Amino acid sequence: MGIRIVDAPSSRVGDPRAKLYIVDHVAPGTTITRRVEVSNRTDVPQAIQLYAAAAEVTGGSFRFSDGRKANDLTGWTVVNPANLSLRPGTTGLATVTIVVPARATVGEHYGVVWAELRARAPTGGGIDAVNRVGVRIYLSVGPGGEPPTDFAVATLQARRAADGRPVVEATVRNIGGRALDLSGELRLTNGPGGLSAGPFNATLGTTLAPGQTEPVQVTLDKALPDGPWDARIALRSGTTTREATATVTFPDDPGSGSRPVAAAESRDATRLPVATTAFAIAAVVVVLLLLWLLPLRRRPSGVHSGLRRRRGRPWRPRPNGGPPQGG
Protein backbone atom coordinates (compact mmCIF):
# COMPACT_ATOMS: atom_id res chain seq x y z
CA MET A 1 0.00 0.00 0.00
CA GLY A 2 1.19 3.51 -0.69
CA ILE A 3 0.04 7.09 -0.23
CA ARG A 4 1.32 10.38 -1.62
CA ILE A 5 0.21 13.99 -1.85
CA VAL A 6 -0.95 15.00 -5.34
CA ASP A 7 -1.01 18.80 -5.19
CA ALA A 8 0.49 21.69 -3.23
CA PRO A 9 -0.21 25.45 -3.15
CA SER A 10 1.48 27.51 -5.87
CA SER A 11 3.19 29.59 -3.17
CA ARG A 12 5.20 26.49 -2.18
CA VAL A 13 6.39 25.28 -5.56
CA GLY A 14 10.02 25.65 -4.48
CA ASP A 15 9.56 23.96 -1.09
CA PRO A 16 10.52 20.25 -1.23
CA ARG A 17 8.54 19.52 1.96
CA ALA A 18 5.29 20.60 0.28
CA LYS A 19 5.75 17.74 -2.21
CA LEU A 20 5.77 15.20 0.62
CA TYR A 21 3.50 16.63 3.31
CA ILE A 22 0.58 18.98 3.84
CA VAL A 23 2.45 22.15 4.84
CA ASP A 24 0.71 25.51 5.06
CA HIS A 25 0.11 28.70 7.03
CA VAL A 26 -3.47 29.98 7.24
CA ALA A 27 -5.50 32.57 9.10
CA PRO A 28 -8.28 31.46 11.47
CA GLY A 29 -11.50 30.88 9.55
CA THR A 30 -9.70 29.51 6.46
CA THR A 31 -10.51 26.29 4.59
CA ILE A 32 -7.85 24.39 2.63
CA THR A 33 -8.03 21.22 0.53
CA ARG A 34 -5.39 18.75 -0.66
CA ARG A 35 -5.66 15.55 -2.66
CA VAL A 36 -3.88 12.33 -1.80
CA GLU A 37 -3.40 9.26 -3.98
CA VAL A 38 -3.64 5.80 -2.42
CA SER A 39 -2.27 2.76 -4.23
CA ASN A 40 -2.93 -0.96 -3.79
CA ARG A 41 0.38 -2.71 -4.45
CA THR A 42 -0.88 -6.16 -3.51
CA ASP A 43 -2.19 -8.88 -5.82
CA VAL A 44 -5.66 -8.98 -4.23
CA PRO A 45 -8.49 -6.42 -3.85
CA GLN A 46 -8.21 -4.27 -0.73
CA ALA A 47 -10.63 -2.21 1.35
CA ILE A 48 -8.66 0.78 2.66
CA GLN A 49 -9.79 3.15 5.40
CA LEU A 50 -8.76 6.84 5.36
CA TYR A 51 -8.77 9.16 8.36
CA ALA A 52 -6.82 11.86 10.22
CA ALA A 53 -5.07 11.23 13.54
CA ALA A 54 -3.01 13.22 16.00
CA ALA A 55 0.76 13.69 15.97
CA GLU A 56 3.35 15.73 17.88
CA VAL A 57 6.96 16.88 17.52
CA THR A 58 9.04 15.79 20.49
CA GLY A 59 12.49 14.37 21.17
CA GLY A 60 13.71 15.38 17.73
CA SER A 61 11.06 13.30 15.95
CA PHE A 62 7.63 13.64 14.35
CA ARG A 63 5.68 11.13 16.45
CA PHE A 64 2.33 9.59 15.55
CA SER A 65 -0.20 8.97 18.28
CA ASP A 66 -1.69 5.54 18.84
CA GLY A 67 -4.74 4.50 16.86
CA ARG A 68 -7.15 7.28 16.01
CA LYS A 69 -6.27 9.63 18.85
CA ALA A 70 -7.63 13.11 18.18
CA ASN A 71 -6.40 16.67 18.68
CA ASP A 72 -7.57 20.10 17.52
CA LEU A 73 -6.29 19.54 13.98
CA THR A 74 -8.04 16.19 13.51
CA GLY A 75 -11.29 17.83 14.61
CA TRP A 76 -10.93 20.27 11.70
CA THR A 77 -9.97 17.59 9.14
CA VAL A 78 -12.25 15.45 6.97
CA VAL A 79 -11.02 12.84 4.46
CA ASN A 80 -13.44 12.02 1.64
CA PRO A 81 -14.05 9.25 0.83
CA ALA A 82 -13.38 7.56 4.14
CA ASN A 83 -13.09 4.17 2.43
CA LEU A 84 -11.55 3.08 -0.88
CA SER A 85 -12.00 -0.29 -2.55
CA LEU A 86 -9.05 -0.83 -4.85
CA ARG A 87 -8.37 -3.66 -7.26
CA PRO A 88 -4.82 -5.07 -7.42
CA GLY A 89 -2.32 -2.60 -8.89
CA THR A 90 -4.76 0.32 -8.98
CA THR A 91 -4.92 3.75 -7.32
CA GLY A 92 -7.63 6.00 -5.93
CA LEU A 93 -7.91 9.65 -4.96
CA ALA A 94 -9.20 11.20 -1.74
CA THR A 95 -9.67 14.84 -0.75
CA VAL A 96 -8.41 16.15 2.59
CA THR A 97 -10.39 19.21 3.74
CA ILE A 98 -9.22 21.24 6.74
CA VAL A 99 -11.72 23.81 8.04
CA VAL A 100 -9.91 26.04 10.54
CA PRO A 101 -12.33 27.66 13.02
CA ALA A 102 -12.40 31.41 13.43
CA ARG A 103 -11.31 30.96 17.05
CA ALA A 104 -8.61 28.37 16.36
CA THR A 105 -5.54 28.34 18.60
CA VAL A 106 -2.69 30.29 17.05
CA GLY A 107 0.51 28.31 16.47
CA GLU A 108 1.70 25.04 14.96
CA HIS A 109 -0.63 22.04 14.69
CA TYR A 110 0.47 18.52 13.73
CA GLY A 111 -1.36 15.49 12.43
CA VAL A 112 -1.31 12.70 9.86
CA VAL A 113 -3.66 11.40 7.17
CA TRP A 114 -3.62 7.61 7.39
CA ALA A 115 -4.46 4.99 4.80
CA GLU A 116 -5.12 1.83 6.83
CA LEU A 117 -5.33 -1.80 5.79
CA ARG A 118 -6.65 -4.10 8.49
CA ALA A 119 -6.49 -7.89 8.45
CA ARG A 120 -8.79 -9.56 10.95
CA ALA A 121 -7.53 -12.36 13.18
CA PRO A 122 -8.36 -15.85 11.91
CA THR A 123 -11.22 -17.76 13.47
CA GLY A 124 -10.09 -19.59 16.57
CA GLY A 125 -7.57 -17.05 17.82
CA GLY A 126 -4.79 -14.65 16.90
CA ILE A 127 -4.48 -10.89 16.59
CA ASP A 128 -5.56 -8.28 14.07
CA ALA A 129 -2.81 -7.04 11.75
CA VAL A 130 -2.89 -3.33 10.88
CA ASN A 131 -0.75 -1.70 8.20
CA ARG A 132 -0.77 2.08 7.82
CA VAL A 133 0.92 4.59 5.55
CA GLY A 134 0.43 8.30 5.99
CA VAL A 135 1.03 11.90 4.95
CA ARG A 136 2.11 14.32 7.68
CA ILE A 137 0.32 17.61 8.31
CA TYR A 138 2.22 20.71 9.44
CA LEU A 139 -0.35 23.48 9.79
CA SER A 140 0.53 26.94 11.13
CA VAL A 141 -2.43 29.06 12.21
CA GLY A 142 -2.25 32.80 12.77
CA PRO A 143 -2.99 36.23 11.31
CA GLY A 144 -0.71 37.93 8.80
CA GLY A 145 2.18 36.38 6.92
CA GLU A 146 3.77 33.04 7.61
CA PRO A 147 6.20 32.84 10.55
CA PRO A 148 9.84 32.61 9.42
CA THR A 149 11.67 29.30 9.12
CA ASP A 150 15.02 29.73 10.84
CA PHE A 151 17.52 27.74 12.88
CA ALA A 152 21.02 28.04 14.31
CA VAL A 153 23.87 25.52 14.59
CA ALA A 154 25.27 26.18 18.06
CA THR A 155 28.08 23.62 18.38
CA LEU A 156 29.87 20.79 16.60
CA GLN A 157 31.21 17.82 18.56
CA ALA A 158 33.47 14.92 17.53
CA ARG A 159 32.84 11.63 19.34
CA ARG A 160 32.93 7.89 18.84
CA ALA A 161 29.91 5.60 18.81
CA ALA A 162 29.91 2.45 20.95
CA ASP A 163 31.05 0.43 17.92
CA GLY A 164 34.05 2.73 17.42
CA ARG A 165 32.80 4.67 14.40
CA PRO A 166 33.54 8.43 14.45
CA VAL A 167 30.54 10.72 14.70
CA VAL A 168 30.16 14.47 14.17
CA GLU A 169 27.21 15.85 16.10
CA ALA A 170 25.71 19.29 15.43
CA THR A 171 23.50 20.93 18.06
CA VAL A 172 20.65 22.68 16.25
CA ARG A 173 18.20 25.19 17.76
CA ASN A 174 14.94 26.10 16.06
CA ILE A 175 14.74 29.90 16.37
CA GLY A 176 11.91 30.31 13.83
CA GLY A 177 8.16 29.88 13.93
CA ARG A 178 7.77 26.70 11.84
CA ALA A 179 8.72 23.08 12.47
CA LEU A 180 11.92 21.84 10.80
CA ASP A 181 12.67 18.57 8.99
CA LEU A 182 16.45 18.59 8.81
CA SER A 183 18.74 16.99 6.25
CA GLY A 184 22.23 17.85 5.05
CA GLU A 185 25.83 16.77 4.65
CA LEU A 186 29.25 17.10 6.25
CA ARG A 187 32.61 17.79 4.60
CA LEU A 188 36.02 17.39 6.27
CA THR A 189 39.11 19.27 5.00
CA ASN A 190 42.67 20.06 6.13
CA GLY A 191 42.96 16.71 7.88
CA PRO A 192 46.21 14.82 8.66
CA GLY A 193 48.54 15.07 5.67
CA GLY A 194 46.14 17.51 3.97
CA LEU A 195 43.40 14.87 3.59
CA SER A 196 39.81 15.73 2.70
CA ALA A 197 36.73 13.54 3.09
CA GLY A 198 33.05 13.70 2.26
CA PRO A 199 30.39 14.68 1.68
CA PHE A 200 28.72 12.45 4.28
CA ASN A 201 24.94 12.55 4.65
CA ALA A 202 23.39 13.56 7.97
CA THR A 203 21.10 11.11 9.69
CA LEU A 204 17.56 11.82 8.50
CA GLY A 205 14.52 12.05 10.73
CA THR A 206 15.45 15.00 12.96
CA THR A 207 12.36 17.19 13.37
CA LEU A 208 12.25 20.27 15.61
CA ALA A 209 9.25 22.29 16.72
CA PRO A 210 9.76 26.04 17.33
CA GLY A 211 11.99 26.61 20.35
CA GLN A 212 13.36 23.05 20.50
CA THR A 213 17.05 22.07 20.46
CA GLU A 214 18.28 18.64 19.33
CA PRO A 215 21.43 17.00 17.91
CA VAL A 216 21.88 16.08 14.24
CA GLN A 217 24.42 13.29 13.72
CA VAL A 218 26.72 12.30 10.86
CA THR A 219 28.27 8.83 11.25
CA LEU A 220 31.59 8.19 9.47
CA ASP A 221 33.88 5.27 8.59
CA LYS A 222 36.09 3.63 11.23
CA ALA A 223 39.14 4.06 8.99
CA LEU A 224 38.93 7.85 9.16
CA PRO A 225 41.98 9.38 10.95
CA ASP A 226 41.39 11.11 14.28
CA GLY A 227 42.26 14.57 12.97
CA PRO A 228 42.26 17.43 13.60
CA TRP A 229 39.81 18.23 10.79
CA ASP A 230 38.12 21.38 9.59
CA ALA A 231 34.47 20.32 9.65
CA ARG A 232 31.79 22.11 7.60
CA ILE A 233 28.20 21.00 7.93
CA ALA A 234 25.36 22.24 5.70
CA LEU A 235 21.85 21.64 7.00
CA ARG A 236 18.54 22.48 5.35
CA SER A 237 14.82 22.41 6.00
CA GLY A 238 12.68 23.19 3.00
CA THR A 239 14.26 26.19 1.27
CA THR A 240 16.22 27.37 4.34
CA THR A 241 19.91 26.41 4.59
CA ARG A 242 22.51 27.01 7.29
CA GLU A 243 26.23 26.18 7.26
CA ALA A 244 28.58 25.95 10.23
CA THR A 245 32.28 25.22 10.64
CA ALA A 246 34.59 24.14 13.47
CA THR A 247 37.86 22.26 13.99
CA VAL A 248 37.26 18.80 15.50
CA THR A 249 39.34 15.82 16.61
CA PHE A 250 37.87 12.36 17.22
CA PRO A 251 38.66 10.80 20.62
CA ASP A 252 40.31 7.39 20.92
CA ASP A 253 37.81 5.67 23.19
CA PRO A 254 34.46 4.30 21.92
CA GLY A 255 31.50 5.93 23.60
CA SER A 256 33.42 9.09 24.45
CA GLY A 257 33.20 12.55 22.97
CA SER A 258 35.23 15.71 22.66
CA ARG A 259 34.19 18.94 24.23
CA PRO A 260 31.58 20.63 21.98
CA VAL A 261 33.16 23.32 19.79
CA ALA A 262 31.28 26.54 19.17
CA ALA A 263 30.39 26.63 15.48
CA ALA A 264 31.07 29.60 13.24
CA GLU A 265 27.79 29.87 11.36
CA SER A 266 27.17 31.40 7.95
CA ARG A 267 23.76 32.82 7.11
CA ASP A 268 21.29 31.35 4.70
CA ALA A 269 22.76 31.43 1.20
CA THR A 270 19.27 31.08 -0.28
CA ARG A 271 18.36 34.51 1.05
CA LEU A 272 21.28 36.33 -0.54
CA PRO A 273 19.58 36.78 -3.93
CA VAL A 274 16.72 38.65 -2.23
CA ALA A 275 19.08 41.13 -0.60
CA THR A 276 21.11 41.43 -3.78
CA THR A 277 17.98 42.11 -5.81
CA ALA A 278 16.84 44.82 -3.38
CA PHE A 279 20.27 46.48 -3.55
CA ALA A 280 20.25 46.33 -7.34
CA ILE A 281 16.79 47.91 -7.53
CA ALA A 282 17.90 50.72 -5.20
CA ALA A 283 21.02 51.31 -7.32
CA VAL A 284 18.96 51.52 -10.52
CA VAL A 285 16.60 54.05 -8.92
CA VAL A 286 19.56 56.23 -7.86
CA VAL A 287 21.08 56.11 -11.37
CA LEU A 288 17.75 57.05 -12.98
CA LEU A 289 17.34 59.99 -10.61
CA LEU A 290 20.83 61.22 -11.44
CA LEU A 291 20.18 60.94 -15.18
CA TRP A 292 16.97 62.93 -14.76
CA LEU A 293 18.51 65.63 -12.57
CA LEU A 294 21.71 66.27 -14.55
CA PRO A 295 19.97 67.72 -17.67
CA LEU A 296 17.95 70.03 -15.44
CA ARG A 297 21.11 71.42 -13.87
CA ARG A 298 22.65 72.07 -17.28
CA ARG A 299 19.70 74.10 -18.64
CA PRO A 300 20.47 77.82 -19.05
CA SER A 301 18.42 80.19 -16.99
CA GLY A 302 16.11 82.74 -18.61
CA VAL A 303 12.70 83.06 -20.18
CA HIS A 304 13.60 81.19 -23.38
CA SER A 305 15.58 78.31 -21.81
CA GLY A 306 12.84 75.84 -22.69
CA LEU A 307 12.40 76.94 -26.35
CA ARG A 308 13.76 74.83 -29.21
CA ARG A 309 14.32 75.40 -32.91
CA ARG A 310 11.66 74.13 -35.25
CA ARG A 311 12.02 73.92 -39.07
CA GLY A 312 15.27 75.81 -38.90
CA ARG A 313 13.76 79.01 -37.42
CA PRO A 314 13.75 79.98 -33.74
CA TRP A 315 10.62 80.60 -31.80
CA ARG A 316 10.27 84.29 -31.09
CA PRO A 317 7.87 85.84 -28.63
CA ARG A 318 5.51 88.50 -30.10
CA PRO A 319 5.90 92.01 -28.91
CA ASN A 320 3.48 93.09 -26.19
CA GLY A 321 3.14 89.54 -24.80
CA GLY A 322 1.43 87.94 -27.87
CA PRO A 323 1.85 84.31 -28.89
CA PRO A 324 5.31 83.31 -30.21
CA GLN A 325 6.09 83.68 -33.92
CA GLY A 326 7.88 81.19 -36.14
CA GLY A 327 7.14 78.08 -38.13
Over residues 102-147, the pLDDT tens digits come to 999 999 999 999 999 987 767 676 777 888 999 999 999 999 889 9
In angstroms, rounded to a whole number, what is the distance separating the alpha carbons of residues 186 and 166? 13
Q: Which of 157, 148, 155 has its CA nearest to residue 175?
A: 148
Cis peptide before 273 (omega within 30 of 0): no
Share of the chain above pLDDT 70, in %: 80
In angstroms, rounded to a whole number, what is the distance separating the alpha carbons of residues 54 and 104? 16
- Give CA 198 to chain center in angstroms: 24
pLDDT for the residue numbered 57: 94
Q: Which of 199, 144, 126 has its CA nearest to residue 28?
A: 144
In the chain, beta strands by DSSP E:
2-5, 22-26, 31-39, 46-58, 61-64, 77-80, 83-86, 91-99, 107-119, 129-141, 151-160, 166-174, 180-189, 197-201, 206-208, 213-219, 229-237, 240-248, 261-262, 264-266
Specify burial of residue 268 (Cβ count, 10 A radius: 0-12, 13-18, 19+). middle
Q: What's phi and psi for 191, nearest 5 deg?
A: -80, -170
Q: Which of 202, 151, 149 has its CA nearest to residue 173?
A: 151
pLDDT for the residue numbered 8: 81
Q: Are 82 and 49 in contact (CB under 8 A)?
A: yes
Ranges in the chain, pLDDT < 70 = 121, 123, 125, 267-327
Which domains, and CATH codes, for the chain?
A: 2-141 (2.60.40.10), 151-271 (2.60.40.10)
Cis peptide before 81 (omega within 30 of 0): yes
